[in-house]
C-alpha cells in the first residue's frame, strides 16, 4: 500500500518552455504532498508543501511564480516549472503520507522526474 | 537553501559484514527521525524510523540508534548484501509536517 506515482519519469524541454509534473497517490488520499528537488550527488531539498484545496507553502528561496503547484484533488498534485532554464535541470520528487493526520509517519515517494532543459 | 555541492561520503563494506552509517542532525527540537534508501534514478524508500522518546529500534536486519545528547543518528545493517548498495539518507521532522533530509552516505557492498 501507500504508492505514489509520478509522471513523466523523464522530460527534456527547450529553454523558455514550461513543464508539468504530476504526482498521484494511488491507494490513499493525501491532503498534503511535498515536492523535493535533488541535484546530482546531493541530498533532497524541500521546495514546497502542496495543500489540497489551498495555496502551496514554499520554502525560503523557492520562487512560487516559477514553480507553480496545484493540488486540486486528494490524489493529485502537479508541479509546473515555468519558463524553464538550464539551471532548473534537476531530479524532482514528490511525496505524501498515507496517514494525513500524523506527522510522525514516513513519507512515501514517487520515483522522481528527471528534467533536462536544453 | 541549497546544499553545497560536495561528493557524498562513501562507505565500502564486504558482503556479509555489518554496516554502520552515521548522521548528525541539526535541530534539537526534532522529535521524529527516519532512514531512507535511495537507489539510482529512483525516489527514496523508507527503511526504519524512530521517535525521540526512544534510543533504539530494530527492524529486519536494520537497527536505528538515536543519541539526542549529541544529536546523532545511526543505521546499522546486519549481514550486508549486494542489494543494500545505495545512498542512505537520514531525515528529521522538525515540528509540523515537513521532513528535512540530511546529507547522504553512499554504501558500496563488495561481493
Question: Is A112 in contact with B104 (Cβ distance < 8 A)?
Answer: no
Q: How distant is the Cα of A68 from the closest Cα of chain B, in angstroms? A: 19
How confident is the model at residue A72, as a pLDDT? 86
So what's the pLDDT on residue B76? 98
Q: What is the pLDDT of residue B4?
A: 37
Rounded CA separation B51/B58 (Å):
13
**What pLDDT does residue A102 have?**
79
pLDDT number for residue A46: 96
A25, exposed or middle or buried, with CB in 10 Å at 0-12, 13-18, 19+? buried
Interchain CB distance below 8 Å, A108 and B34:
no
Output the tens digit of pLDDT for each of chain B's 111 residues: 333 345 689 999 999 999 999 999 988 889 999 999 999 999 999 999 999 999 999 999 999 999 999 999 999 999 999 999 999 999 999 777 899 999 999 999 998
Taking CA atoms, what residue in B is nearest to A5?
A: B43
**Of the candidates A45, A108, A110, which has its C-beta nearest B2's C-beta?**
A45
The pLDDT score that the predictor gives to residue B7 is: 66
Query: Partners of A80 in the beta sheet?
Result: A20, A68
Question: Are B100 and A95 within 8 A, CB to CB?
Answer: no
Residue of B nearest to A58 (CA): B98
Query: Is there a contact between B43 and A6 if contact means CB atoms under 8 Å apart?
Result: yes
Q: What's the pLDDT score for residue A103?
A: 79
Q: Is A90 on the interface with B (CB under 8 A)?
A: no
DSSP count for chain A of H helices, then E strands? 0, 11
Distance from CA of B16 to the nearest CA of A (A): 26
Residues of A in contact with B101 (CB under 8 A): 36, 43-46
Series of mean pLDDT values for 10-residue runs along chain A (118 residues): 94 98 94 95 95 93 96 94 97 90 88 98
Q: Are strands B56-58 and A44-51 parallel, antiparallel or unpaired?
A: unpaired
Amino acid at each position: 500500500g501507500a504508492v505514489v506515482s509520478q509522471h513523466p519519469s523523464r522530460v527534456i524541454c527547450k529553454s523558455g518552455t514550461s513543464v508539468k509534473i504530476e504526482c498521484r497517490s494511488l491507494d490513499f488520499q493525501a491532503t498534503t504532498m511535498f515536492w523535493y528537488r535533488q541535484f546530482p550527488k546531493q541530498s533532497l531539498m524541500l521546495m514546497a508543501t502542496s495543500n489540497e484545496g489551498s495555496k502551496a507553502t514554499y520554502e525560503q528561496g523557492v520562487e512560487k511564480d516559477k514553480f507553480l503547484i496545484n493540488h486540486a484533488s486528494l490524489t493529485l498534485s502537479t508541479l509546473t516549472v515555468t519558463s524553464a532554464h538550464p539551471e532548473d535541470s534537476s531530479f524532482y520528487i514528490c511525496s505524501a503520507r498515507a496517514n494525513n493526520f500524523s506527522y510522525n509517519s514516513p513519507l512515501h515517494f514517487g520515483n522522481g522526474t528527471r528534467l533536462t532543459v536544453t | 537553501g541549497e546544499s553545497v555541492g560536495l561528493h557524498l561520503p562513501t562507505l565500502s563494506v564486504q558482503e556479509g559484514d555489518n554496516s554502520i552509517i552515521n548522521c548528525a542532525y541539526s535541530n534539537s527540537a526534532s522529535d521524529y527521525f527516519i532512514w531512507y534508501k535511495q537507489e539510482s534514478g529512483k525516489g527514496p524508500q523508507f527503511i526504519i524510523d524512530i521517535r525521540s522518546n526512544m534510543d533504539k529500534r530494530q527492524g529486519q536486519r536494520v537497527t536505528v540508534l538515536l543519541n539526542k545528547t549529541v544529536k546523532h543518528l545511526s543505521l546499522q545493517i546486519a549481514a550486508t548484501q549486494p542489494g543494500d548498495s545505495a545512498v542512505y539518507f537520514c531525515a528529521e521532522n522538525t515540528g509540523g509536517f515537513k521532513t528535512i533530509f540530511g546529507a547522504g552516505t553512499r554504501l558500496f557492498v563488495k561481493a
